[in-house]
Amino acid sequence: MDVNNQLEELYTAWSSRRALHQPVYPDAVALNRAVDYLRLMPPLVFAGEADKLTALMARASEGKAFVLQGGDCAETFESSSADQIRAKIRTILQMAVVLTYGASVPVIKLGRMAGQYAKPRSNATEVRDGIELPSYMGDAVNGFEFTPESRVPDPRRLIETYQRSAATLNLIRAFTAGGFADLSKVHEWNKGFASNPAYKRYNQLAGEIDKAMKFMEAAGANSESLRTVDFYASHEALLLDYEHAMTRVDSRTEKLYNTGAHFLWIGERTRGIDDAHVEMLSRIENPIGVKLGPNVASDEVEALIDKLNPAGTPGRLTLITRMGADVITDKLPPIIEAVQRDGRPVTWITDPMHGNTIAASNGYKTRRMTDVVKEISRFFSVHSAMGSCPGGVHIELTGDDVTEVLGGAEEIFEDTLATRYETLVDPRLNHQQSLETAFLVSEILRENS
Ligand code: TRP
Ligand code: MN
């Protein structure tokens, strides 16, 4: 089929469906201009890379690899600086090293990065002091500042989203291929951090890796794979105009790929089986995910598998459960049963963040480390009890020493939340809480293997 026909057919398919959580742009001409511009921009990823990731996700569905998906709740244009990207990459690499070395399992590094700029909100508008304005939907849509000018959805932000994503992904590729991810640098990634239990543990592990590296060098082993990592980019496919503009026909296969990220997921709020988001992602070849909250029904999951992975391609579909620590043990088993009944493979990931968001007594939106840890370990217990395979974790984190999540070895209390509470949306694990989580997961993986 003709390239333009395929894209037109895609457009007709999703645009005839209900599309939830889309911004209302007052200037339709400006939107068309932005979208036309994006369509002519080079892809950010190559379709072949997406296929490679599908094959890796298939390994994770069988327990032969483990997915580490991590990054900000929402990236912002301001936070896409070199320092912040470096800190996030370093955190993810440190977590990956802990998992790879501690549990002897290949780790798939999947950033919630280079495109995570749009957020669905529970309320379309926000009221402050009697003034009602559109809610902040992420830098891809409007500004955080509470003024009418800043909160109007502006299509030019879609272009900046593309540019920031391109610059971020370029830096990620430079870091991960250019020497920053070299396993002989494991010690350096920890430099500049105050000492605390997680860092001490990390330094000890880094010492062991150093020894192993020196041994291999002395023995003449000299593998490129020790110096570089494959790092993949993912974000929530929320803004359909943007995602459509980034979707292209792959010249090798003549199939549709979203070239704005390797992996895309559909949010809990937009996963309606007859809705536009599911329709769009059902028609692209990338590996994809769906978030599942505690109220998802078994037949919804069956319908999603049928629609999103009819052929049962391993690695194509990931189910990211975000149940909440208190209910996961009750809510997850019937969903696993439905998947087992269906028989087609899925990759299971736990998101221990979104089911555990609370308001602190002083009003801060926060989470407790203890709940995060509880949901992760219950995720593993439920899967192993049912003969199913836990394939990865999805973490909201930052490389900085923020104070947004309660608890951790270097404990953050309600009173200390205010010290460095920087997120515009959800609270993220800081650097040391992320490392702590990685150690916990590596212990569970080791026990299970
Ligand atoms: N390339 C291997 C991997 O991705 C080993 C590796 C090199 C690595 N640098 C790393 C692993 C940094 C974790 C973190 O697994
Ligand atoms: Mn979030």
Is the CB of 205 inside a 6 Å radius of any atom of ligand 1? no
- Indicate if the pLDDT at residue 197 is higher than 90: no
Task: Evaluate if residue 37 carries a pLDDT over 70.
Answer: yes
Domains, the chain, in order of start with CATH, read 38-121+157-178+228-448 (3.20.20.70), 182-221 (no CATH)
Mean pLDDT of 312-329: 98
Q: Bridge-partner residues for 349, per DSSP?
A: 320, 392
Structure tokens at 11: 């457009």
Is 93 close to ligand 1, i.e. is its CB under 6 Å away?
Answer: yes
356/210 Cα distance (integer angstroms)? 37
- The verdict on whether residue 291 carries a ligand-binding annotation is yes
Mark out the alpha helices in 18-81 (DSSP H runs): 28-39, 47-61
Rounded to an integer, what distance in angstroms lies between the CA atom of residue 63 and that of residue 66?
Answer: 7
Query: What is the percent of the chain where pLDDT is above 90?
Result: 90
Please tell me whether 86 is known to bind a ligand. Answer: no
Nearest atom (ligand 1) to Cα of 230: 4
Element (H, E) at 132: strand 131-134
Query: What is the atom index within ligand 1 of the atom nearest the CA of 182?
Result: 9
Does residue 225's CB lie within 6 angstroms of at least one atom of ligand 1?
Answer: yes
154 pLDDT band, cuts 50/70/90, is very high
Ligand 1 atom closest to Cα of residue 186: 12
Query: Is pLDDT of 194 > 70?
Result: no
268 is in an annotated binding site: yes
382 lines ligand 1 (CB under 6 A): no
pTM: 0.97
Q: So what's the pLDDT on residue 193?
A: 67
| 344 known ligand binder | no
Q: What is the pLDDT of residue 102?
A: 85
pLDDT, tens digit, for every residue of 259-288?
999 999 999 999 999 999 999 999 999 999
Strands 131-134 and 288-292, bridge-based pairing: unpaired
Provide the pLDDT for residue 232.
Answer: 98
| Residues 324-377: tens digit of each pLDDT | 999 999 999 999 999 999 999 999 999 999 999 999 999 999 999 999 999 999
For residue 222, pLDDT over 80 is answered with: no
* Residue 38 CB–ligand 1 contact under 6 Å: no
Among 242, 32, 232, residue whose Cα is nearest residue 118: 242
User: Is ligand 1 within 6 A of the CB of residue 264?
Assistant: no
Tracing tokens 């974000």 back to the chain, one arrives at 235
Running DSSP on this structure, what letter comes out for residue 133?
E
Helix (H) or strand (E) holding 131, with range, is strand 131-134
Helix 328-342 and helix 369-385, axial crossing angle in degrees, nearest 10: 40
Check the CA dihedral 375-379-380-386 and report its sign.
Answer: positive
Say which DSSP state 286 is in: S
